[in-house]
Amino acid sequence: MLGQGSRSGGAVWLVGAGPGDPELLTLKALKILQIADVLVHDGLVSDEILELAPSHARRISVAKRKSRHSYSQDEINRMLVAFALEGLKVVRLKGGDPFIFGRGGEELEACRAAGVDCQIIPGVTAALAAAASAGAPLTHRGSAQAVTFVTGHASTGAEPDLDWESLAKANQTVVIYMGLSQAAPIAARLLGAGRAGSTPALIVENASRKDERRVVTTLAGLVEAAASLSGPALLIVGEAMALAQVGEGREVVETLIQKVRA
């Protein structure tokens, strides 16, 4: 079911575009993209994915920009509602999954408040792609009984108010989104709360994209390793990251597929 639309005929789909590789898009996301009248997309959505929408679909980037005006969340909410009330099929394309640090909940609430039909199409969140391409499981019998996704940035811009005591316990994986520039305070908090400096850690930049880079380190080496990357990236700390492999991810898989087909 792709959704029925509202009385105006318009509707909003909050679509997870996945971590970047178009092959990690769901079939449902692709179907919706192909009927879009308007695409409202983030900066993290790759050009390869934007090209899958019909050429006549209007494309609006609401990426955060340093030099030019960026749309506020409120402006984005109003834009989605206004297009849908005009009777248009609005695809709000977000990197990864719309409900993982993606402000999808706020957009859903705005649609509901305006009586606009809003459907959610989940996407592969960055943590899943990062762990998969490094070959390091987020949960692992005996060394990772839980996985927690946290943000390195609080909405106030200050350090996030996290339960560091709990995150510092051994045998669990902690994935930090938006944490690259906050690597120093995050590592200090985890170490201060008792997590061992020798705990394996992995940083993945541009997971699933052609320019993916991976650094395998430890919690004690996290800050130095983070300094060599510029993002978007995830910091992953946990015993199971001992299984992580360095090297190229997507290229290796594609070369293997070509070999098997040849």
Ligand X SMILES: C[S@@+](CC[C@H](N)C(=O)[O-])C[C@H]1O[C@@H](n2cnc3c(N)ncnc32)[C@H](O)[C@@H]1O
Residues annotated as part of the active site: 42, 64
Q: Which residues contact 207 (CB under 8 A, 6 or more apart)?
A: 19, 20, 126, 129, 130, 133, 234, 249
Task: With beta carbons less than 8 A apart as the criterion, state whether 39 and 17 touch.
Answer: no
> Any idea what the Cα angle at residue 242 is, between residues 241 and 244, rounded to 5°?
65
Which pairs with CB-CB distance under 8 Å and at least 24 residues apart come from 53-56? Answer: 53/91
Q: How far is the CB of 61 from ligand X (least distance, A)?
A: 15
The residue (of 48 and 82) whose beta carbon lies closer to ligand X is 48
The residue (of 167 and 234) whose beta carbon lies closer to ligand X is 234
Interface stretch with ligand X, choices 1-9, 140-148, 216-224, 228-236 (CB under 6 A):
228-236
Task: With beta carbons less than 8 A apart as the criterion, state whether 171 and 145 touch.
Answer: yes
For 109, other C-beta atoms within 10 Å of its C-beta total 12
Q: How far is the CB of 45 from ligand X (least distance, A)?
A: 10
Among 88, 120, 234, 241, binds ligand X (CB under 6 A): 234
The residue (of 159 and 165) whose beta carbon lies closer to ligand X is 159
Give CA–CA dist 157/159, Å, rounded: 7
The residue (of 10 and 102) whose beta carbon lies closer to ligand X is 102
Give CA–CA dist 175/190, Å, rounded: 12
Q: How far is the CB of 153 from ligand X (least distance, A)?
A: 8
Interface stretch with ligand X, choices 58-66, 75-83, 184-192, 232-240 (CB under 6 A):
232-240
Residues 80-139 that bind ligand X (CB under 6 A): 94-97, 100-102, 125-126, 130
Q: Which two tokens stand for residue 124?
A: 């592969």
Sheet containing 118-121: order of strands: 58-61, 38-41, 89-94, 11-16, 118-121
Q: How far is the CB of 129 from ligand X (least distance, A)?
A: 6
Q: How far is the CB of 230 from ligand X (least distance, A)?
A: 11
Among 20, 137, 200, 249, binds ligand X (CB under 6 A): 20
Residue 24 in contact with ligand X, rule: CB under 6 A: no
Of 123, 134, 135, the C-alpha closest to 22 is 123
Residues 144-173 that bind ligand X (CB under 6 A): none
Give CA–CA dist 41/33, Å, rounded: 11
Site string for ligand X, 35-54 (x = CB under 6 A): ---------x----------
Which residues of this chain interact with ligand X, rule CB under 6 A?
Answer: 19-20, 44, 94-97, 100-102, 125-126, 130, 177-178, 204, 206-209, 231-234
